[in-house]
Amino acid sequence: MYCFLSTMSLADICVISTTIPKMIVDIMTHNRVISYGGCLTQMSLFVLFVCMDDMLLIMMAYDRFVAICHPLHYQVIMNPRLCGFLVLVSFLLSLLDSQLHNLTVLQLTCFRDAKIPNFFCDPPELFKLTCSDTFINNIIMYLVGAIFGFLPLSGILFSY
């Protein structure tokens, strides 16, 4: 359990660290503009760490399930090797989700403005600035969001 908690607290710190420093700089300079490269970097890191939080919740639910349903076998089942593997799997799934978000944004061809008037960047903000049709990109974004939203919810509910 402590392995998952420490990894989750690290992911939470990283989530905040992707947006707050830019916001503080924007407040100090009175400039609320983010470049396209900065936007892609921020969006990728933000989605990575938020999705990792969700995946770690699944792993913690499984850990709780094993602790309650198999208390005498807990040390054997949830050994440090398995915990490390589960953290790695949550990171890889989060990385996949993050890269899917980036690929949908990179599919956009032209933009009306090269600068985003906000300190936080996410795909709907970029879809507003594009000249091309974003219907397929919206469908992909909602489908990926539904899959990565349903997966943690179903894992947590299954553990009960």
Residue 92 pLDDT > 90, yes or no? yes
The 10s digit of each residue's pLDDT in 24-49 is 888 888 887 777 778 888 888 998 99
Q: Which fold has domain 2-159?
A: Rhopdopsin 7-helix transmembrane proteins (1.20.1070)
In degrees, rounded to 5, the angle at the alpha carbon of residue 76 between the alpha carbons of residues 70 and 80 is 120
Exposure on the CB side of residue 130, measured as CA atoms within 13 A: 17
**What local confidence, expressed as pLDDT, does residue 103 receive?**
82
Residue 139: how many CB atoms within 10 A of its CB? 11
Indicate the domain borders of the chain: 2-159
Within the chain, where are the H helices?
Answer: 2-29, 36-69, 74-77, 80-106, 123-129, 135-159
Residue 97 and residue 144 in contact, taking contact as beta carbons nearer than 8 Å: yes
pLDDT digits (tens, 9 = 90+) for 103-135: 877 777 666 666 666 667 777 777 777 777 778
Mean pLDDT of 8-35: 86
Average pLDDT of the chain?
A: 84
